[in-house]
Amino acid sequence: MTRKLKNKDLNRLSVEKYRKVSKTPIVLILDNIRSMHNVGAIFRTSDAFRIEKIYLCGITARPPHRDIRKTALGADESVEWSYFETTNAALNELKDCHICALEQAIDSVPLREVIFPKNKTIALIVGNEVDGVNDKLFDFCDQIIEIPQFGVKHSFNVSVSTGITLWEIFNKINE
């Protein structure tokens, strides 16, 4: 008989063990994300994919905060993060990475068609809920990635688009 798995069946890592295990070579750069709930959801998704680190930039809220914790469910304690006053400052630390922006732009590549270099950390910039990724950051990017959409609305929520994109990147680099 099929049943839902219980927490004890899932073999979850403790925070201490999580910090010691190898990580997926992906870092996220949050460019002025204004909603703490989105920040928390991105932490939670990042924990699930064991990403290396989150760079919180500009007005993006930082843990500890109860509104982040509400959606992060503790992932704000497991996933490593740093804060930068500007996204440019964060990107200057990531020059050795393959830097991508998740944005609808003239030269964007559909997510399914993106090819990532082997043996290089992927740095993914996700942008503000209203304005998206700052245009000035495109100069730092090796690629601009877009999730094709087919409905009336022209965008996903930033935490949803981050989850979709992380899943696709995770699969591509683990083929």
Domain contains 10: no
In a domain? residue 115: yes
* Tens digits of residue pLDDT in 77-128: 999 999 999 999 999 999 999 999 999 999 999 999 999 998 999 999 999 9
Residue 11 lies in a domain: no
**Which letter does DSSP use for residue 32 in this model?**
S
Q: In the chain, how many domains are there?
A: 1
Distance CA 167, CA 151 (A): 21
Average pLDDT, the chain: 96
In a domain, 12, yes or no: no
Residue 6 lies in a domain: no
Residue 120 lies inside a defined structural domain of this protein: yes
Range of the domain at 54: 17-173
Residue 72 lies in a domain: yes
Q: What is the CATH number of the domain that holds 160?
A: 3.40.1280.10
Residue 3 in domain:
no
Phi, psi of 173 (to 5 degrees): -80, -10
Residue type, 70: K
Instruction: Name the pTM for this structure.
Output: 0.95
